Amino acid sequence: MKRVFLIFLLSVSLIQARKIIVKMATLAPEGTDWHGMLVEMGQEWKKATDGQVQLRIYPGGVVGDERDMVRKMRIGQIHAAGITTEGLTEIVPDFSAFYIPLAFQDNDDIQAVLDDMYPSLEKKLNDKGFKLLYLADLGWAYWFSTTKVTSPLDLKDKRIFTWAGDFKWAEVYKKAGYNPVPLASTDILSGLQTGLIDAMSTMPLYALAQQAFGITNHMLDLKWGTLLAGIIIDLRTWNRIPAKYHEEIISIANSIREKHQQNNINAENQAIDAMKQYGLVIHQPSPEEIILWQEEVKRMEPHLRGKIIPEDIFDRVLELTQD
């Protein structure tokens, strides 16, 4: 009887030992679609691995910003993160490929660069100790301002928001003749209210969530930039997961991403429509103004190429998106 009991105890502890809890951080607030996507993914992982892989999500920046997430993954405090290219660039600078202004004008551009660079980005992340589960676009960034902006000249009159701590971008704008004002994201609204800043390049969903649209109620309908996000997991944790589940885990992550991708596109359009109801004015640039913007980006090139974005990556992106 004693032996049976011991065998039972041993088998229970072995089952317990095989259970892998993956602690994942994200800035996405609880209750949003992005957070929901991770919750759903965790439930599917649990099902597919017979409960061996359990995802624990820490939403809303509980773990800190994306730099903190990367740091905490490195020391093993968390094991995975749903992060944007902002955080991914901290690990592999090549992710700055997606920073080039005006380079991406439709999903085909993004896809062309992803198709070309994904294997290399994946490998470089792997070399740094991270497994990339997927990468997808979150949406487009546009210029929002307090008064009409349709040409680069209009923007030069403005005090534009740049991320505090991201001195490189502030320098790029400064050298190109703009007035960057580095601020923490939590100071954007008060900065707009007090006139400290009067323009910002951001995604419509973010402008809505920031409640900035009441002040920056002019939007230039020109895709200035794009933001991508992905899921990474540290290799130590990834390798603890039995290899037989790896393919299924990646496949689940991708199918849930596809399901939510459409929601994301809809949400961006809805955000613009919702803000229009509250007075947001959308300005279409003329063909001549679009050329002016393109020339402006060309003038910014020496400050970007090799400074913020590795030279080979910069050239490759332009090559892939030229058409």
Partner 1 sequence: MGRLISLLVIILFSLSCVPRVLITEHPKLVSYYFTKKIESLEKKKDLTFDQQRALLKTKVEYGFGILMEESDRVIDDNYNLGVQISRNAYIEFNEAKKIGNSILSNTYPRFDSWLKNGTEIIFKSNDVFDLYWLAAAFGGAIRSSRGNPFEVVNLPVVKKLLETAINLNSNWGRGALYSAMMNYTSSRPDLFGDSMVDSISYFYEKALIASDSLNASVYVSYAEIIDKKYQNKTEFEQKLHYVIQMDDKNDKDFRLSNIIAQERAKWLLSKTDEYFFE
- Burial, 276: exposed, middle or buried (Cβ in 10 Å; 0-12, 13-18, 19+)? middle
Q: Tell me: does residue 36 bind partner 1 (CB under 8 A).
A: yes
Separation of alpha carbons 236 and 280, rounded Å: 48
| E strand segments, 129-279 | 130-145, 159-163, 179-183, 199-202, 218-234
In the complex, the smallest distance separating the C-beta of residue 78 from partner 1, rounded to whole angstroms, is: 6
Please select the residue that binds partner 1; options are 80, 205, 232, 308, rule is CB under 8 A.
205
Residue among 139 and 180 whose Cβ is closer to partner 1: 139
Residue 271 in the binding site for partner 1 (CB under 8 A)? yes
Which of residues 277, 287, 288, 323 is near partner 1 by CB under 8 A?
A: 277
Taking the CA atoms of residue 152, residue 157, residue 162 and residue 168 in that order, the dihedral angle to the nearest 10 degrees is 70
Comparing CB distances to partner 1, the nearer of 176 and 183 is 183
Provide the 10 A C-beta neighbour count for residue 241: 19
Q: Are 131 and 228 in contact (CB under 8 A)?
A: no
Q: Which two tokens stand for residue 174?
A: 């400064």
Pick one of 214, 235, 240, 261: the residue that binds partner 1 (CB under 8 A): 214
Q: How far is the CB of 40 from partner 1 (least distance, A)?
A: 4
Amino acid at residue number 10: L
Determine if 77 is a binding residue for partner 1 (CB under 8 A): yes
> Which of 260/283 has CB closer to partner 1?
260
The stretch among 111-119, 122-130, 183-191, 224-232 that binds partner 1 (CB under 8 A) is: 183-191
If you compute the radius of gyration of the chain from its CA atoms, what whole number of angstroms results?
22
* Using rule CB under 8 A, residue 40 touches partner 1: yes
The answer to whether residue 267 forms part of the interface with partner 1 (CB under 8 A) is yes
**Nearer Cβ to partner 1, position 112 or 141?**
141
CB 185 within 8 A of CB 163: yes
3-state helix, strand, coil in the chain (%, to 5): 55, 20, 25
* Contact call for residue 62 and partner 1 (CB under 8 A): yes
- Give the interface segment with partner 1, choosing from 52-60, 109-117, 134-142, 243-251 (CB under 8 A): 52-60
Residues in region 16-35 near partner 1 by CB under 8 A? 23, 25, 31-33
CB of 142 to partner 1, least distance (A): 15
Q: Considering only residues 27, 63, 183, 229, which one is a binding residue for partner 1 as defined by CB under 8 A? A: 63
Q: Is 213 exposed, middle or buried (0-12, 13-18, 19+ CB in 10 A)?
A: buried
Our finding on whether 43 is near partner 1 (CB under 8 A) is: yes
Q: Which two tokens stand for residue 26?
A: 């994200």
Residue 278 touching partner 1 (CB under 8 A) = yes
CB nearer partner 1, residue 79 or residue 131 = 79
> Residue type for 156, please?
K
Q: Give the range of 130-138, 182-190, 224-232, 281-289 binding partner 1 by CB under 8 A.
A: 182-190
182 touches partner 1 (CB under 8 A): no
What six digits make up the tokens of 201? 């390049």
Contact between 186 and partner 1 by CB under 8 A: the answer reads yes
- Phi, psi of 52, rounded to the nearest 5 degrees: -75, -30
Whether 83 and 130 have beta carbons less than 8 Å apart is answered as no
Cα 54 to chain center, whole Å?
24
d(CA 179, CA 174): 6
Site residues (CB under 8 A) for partner 1, limited to 162-181: none
Residues that bind partner 1 (CB under 8 A): 23, 25, 31-33, 36, 39-40, 43, 56, 58, 60, 62-63, 77-78, 184, 186-190, 205, 208-211, 213-214, 267, 270-271, 273-275, 277-278
